[in-house]
Amino acid sequence: MIALGSDCLLFQMTSGESVPFSAEMISVELMGDTAKELDAEFLRHATHAVFHYFKHELGRQSVSLGEFAGAMEKVLRGLDLKAQAAEQATTRPGLMESDLRALADEASEGGELFFFPRLRDELRHHLAREPLMLRFRGLRACVKQLVGVRRWTSGCQRLEDQIVAYLRECSKAEAGPNEFALLVD
């Protein structure tokens, strides 16, 4: 009987035959089948890791093709999930919010004159992060503070309409190619 090379495993084929393969040989076989779907270097490293697991961690001399394929599938799925998680971490944020009442506080001395430029700066700041949804909350309280009243008046309604129209126009001008939802409440 011929001794098995230290860098080889016997693969039991479905036909019953056992064939020695090194990690590199398995990588080449897999790359032929999936070269279009996966990065060759990525696949080579994954194959070497599974091969190492069977050969050195488990101390096996032989493995069935089904066992090896199952382990490869687990590794590739696990790596794919990690890649998806990393991708999601770098994607656009879901929701970004601003408090209109706080912006009105900042512009308290200058009133509407300081409020509208500050509002546009806040909008630009959020749009730079490319959110899926942008929410400006506290509209009623903001309007009453800027108008200087405790109860809602027709002047409040006009200013509220101005703020909403201003946000719509600025968001159209500043948004760029990314779509997002604008919520003002």
State the pLDDT at residue 166: 94
Residues 119 and 174 placed together within one structural domain of the fold: yes
Residues 44 and 115 placed together within one structural domain of the fold: no
How many of the other CB atoms lie within 10 Å of CB of 107?
20
Residues 17 and 44 placed together within one structural domain of the fold: yes
Any alpha helices (H) in the chain, and if so which ranges? 23-34, 40-52, 65-89, 100-106, 112-127, 139-147, 154-174
Q: Which of 17-26, 147-156, 166-175 has the highest mean pLDDT?
A: 147-156
0.75 cut: is pTM over it? no
Contacts of 175 (CB under 8 A, 6+ apart): 127
Q: What is the pLDDT of residues 93-103, one digit of tens each?
A: 678 899 999 99
Residues 61 and 78 placed together within one structural domain of the fold: yes
State the pLDDT at residue 173: 86
Average pLDDT of the segment spanning 104-111: 84
Share of the chain above pLDDT 90, in %: 30
Is residue 161 predicted with pLDDT exceeding 90?
yes
Q: How far is CA 35 from the centre of its chain?
A: 25
State the pLDDT at residue 99: 94
Q: Which of 29-38, 50-59, 70-79 has the highest mean pLDDT?
A: 50-59
State the pLDDT at residue 74: 82
Band of the pLDDT at 92, cuts 50, 70, 90?
A: low
Band of the pLDDT at 138, cuts 50, 70, 90?
A: very high
Residues 46 and 84 placed together within one structural domain of the fold: yes
The answer to whether 14 touches 65, Cβ cutoff 8 Å, is yes
Which residue segment(s) compose the domain that 79 sits in? 8-89
Band of the pLDDT at 137, cuts 50, 70, 90?
A: very high
State the pLDDT at residue 8: 83
Structural domains counted in the chain = 2
What whole-number distance in Å separates Cα of residue 44 and Cα of residue 80?
15
Q: What are phi and psi of 164, to 5 degrees?
A: -65, -45
Domain assignment present for 1: no
- Average of per-residue pLDDT values in the chain: 81
Q: How far is CA 86 from the centre of its chain?
A: 6
Residues 54 and 112 placed together within one structural domain of the fold: no
What whole-number distance in Å separates Cα of residue 91 and Cα of residue 81?
15
Contacts of 55 (CB under 8 A, 6+ apart): 9
Residues 17 and 64 placed together within one structural domain of the fold: yes
Q: What are phi and psi of 133, to 5 degrees?
A: -140, 135
Extract the tokens encoding 146.
Answer: 């800027």
